[in-house]
């Protein structure tokens, strides 16, 4: 278990690496004098070296709760050491190592994985004690209130989802510390931002599941008779079935945009969703082309719809196809409809009328 930490010997060779967006310092602080730097190096370097040695020693072995506690205690001595010196560089290093120690603490106690499990169970609604509590909010005050009032719920979910033994012991012994980390927002990037962003992971998992389910159900629907597919109950089910992937993708985009992902990561998700919208469009269009009950829609009757697989002229009637696809697949199919329609027509023209 190896973490990327800025090891400093001497400590002041690393000041250019320190995050510039850390908590704003008292502007009245002076830069450290040469004598202060020498004293800081003499006092704080041993703690940094001790932490480096511990993380190297236990980088490839199973860490016990006792080892995690030892590493955490050792790490926290570093910001305490820097905090004794009231000059700019020392205070910057104090803040930097406070953030690093939070990440080390959650990593060695297996709390990153446990938080993911808590989020997932809460998101699915498969929980028993969190009514009126919002573990997924990004607002620091609301997060603190939720995790304070929901202590027993958090511990129960952690146990139910089989969090690592070290994580369970951490929650029992250091719950106040857990709440502080989960609800304290720092300037610049910190573990808080990473933990808030992890709330989008269950949404992403759900989107992938919905796509798999949709494709599986489409295969099953082939075996149904025309009569079964034209019942009102079936069409109601279909509209819900088709709308789920697109609605979850919309939810994922909203989650990422309101969290702390980079613009590139957010744009990447938007592009993946666009691809998914097009996949759903093409799957639904294939249903329209191959399903006998598509003939029941008025515009198809008007167009003398007899053989959908060979009637390429009808498949150029955007208004009719949009009406039929919405009727068969629900309003979710309208997401990016114009773009997907244009792409379909381009692909059709480029293959000289071959159907997808």
174 alpha carbon, distance to own chain's centre? 26
200-204, 262-266, 300-304, 335-339: range with lowest mean pLDDT = 300-304
Kindly state the percentage of the chain with pLDDT values over 90: 44
- With CA atoms as reference, report the closest residue to 4 among 109, 99, 89: 99
pLDDT at residue 4 in the model? 39
pLDDT at residue 6 in the model? 40
What would the pLDDT profile of 4-56 be if each residue is shown by its tens digit? 334 333 343 333 323 333 445 556 789 999 999 999 999 999 999 999 999 99
**98 CB contacts (<8 Å, ≥6 apart)?**
79
Q: What is the mean pLDDT of residues 314-322?
A: 84
What are 197's two structure tokens? 């962003």
**86 CB contacts (<8 Å, ≥6 apart)?**
29
235, pLDDT greater than 60: no
Higher pLDDT, 257 or 162: 162
Kindly state the percentage of the chain with pLDDT values over 70: 77
What would the pLDDT profile of 56-87 be if each residue is shown by its tens digit? 988 767 889 999 999 999 999 999 999 999 99
pLDDT, averaged across the chain: 80
115, pLDDT greater than 90: yes
Task: Establish whether the linkage from the previous residue to 10 is cis, with ω within 30° of 0.
Answer: yes
Q: What is the mean pLDDT of residues 294-309?
A: 62
57 CB burial (10 A radius; 0-12, 13-18, 19+) = exposed
344, pLDDT greater than 50: yes
pLDDT at residue 19 in the model? 37
């Amino acid at each position: 278990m190896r973490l990327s930490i800025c090891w400093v010997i001497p400590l002041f060779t690393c000041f250019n690496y320190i995050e510039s967006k850390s908590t704003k310092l008292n502007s009245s602080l002076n830069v450290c004098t040469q004598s202060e730097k020498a004293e800081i190096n003499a006092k704080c370097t041993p703690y940094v070296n001790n932490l480096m040695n511990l993380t190297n020693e236990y980088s490839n072995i199973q860490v016990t709760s006792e080892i995690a506690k030892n590493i955490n205690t050792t790490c926290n001595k570093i910001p305490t050491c820097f905090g004794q010196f009231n000059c700019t560089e020392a205070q910057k290093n104090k803040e930097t190592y406070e953030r690093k120690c939070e990440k080390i603490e959650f990593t060695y106690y297996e709390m990153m994985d446990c938080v993911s499990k808590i989020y997932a169970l809460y998101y699915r609604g498969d929980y028993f004690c969190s009514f009126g509590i919002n573990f997924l909010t990004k607002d620091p005050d609301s997060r603190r209130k939720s995790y304070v009032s929901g202590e027993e719920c958090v511990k129960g979910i952690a146990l139910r989802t089989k969090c690592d033994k070290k994580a369970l012991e951490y929650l029992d012994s250091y719950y106040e510390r857990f709440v502080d980390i989960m609800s304290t927002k720092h300037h610049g990037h910190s573990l808080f931002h990473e933990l808030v962003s992890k709330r989008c992971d269950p949404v992403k998992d759900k989107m992938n599941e919905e796509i798999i389910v949709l494709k599986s159900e489409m295969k099953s629907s082939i075996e149904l008779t025309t009569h079964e597919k034209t019942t009102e109950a079936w069409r109601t089910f279909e509209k819900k079935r088709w709308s789920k992937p697109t609605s979850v993708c919309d939810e994922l985009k909203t989650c990422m945009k309101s969290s702390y992902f980079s613009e590139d990561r957010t744009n990447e998700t938007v592009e993946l969703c666009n691809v998914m919208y097009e996949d759903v469009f093409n799957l639904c269009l294939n249903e329209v082309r191959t399903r006998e009950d598509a003939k029941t829609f008025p515009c198809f009757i008007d167009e003398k719809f007899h053989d959908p697989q060979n009637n390429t002229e009808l498949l150029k009637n955007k208004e009719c196809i949009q009406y039929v696809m919405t009727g068969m697949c629900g309003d979710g199919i309208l997401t990016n409809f114009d773009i997907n329609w244009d792409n379909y027509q381009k692909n059709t023209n480029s293959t000289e009328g071959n159907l997808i």
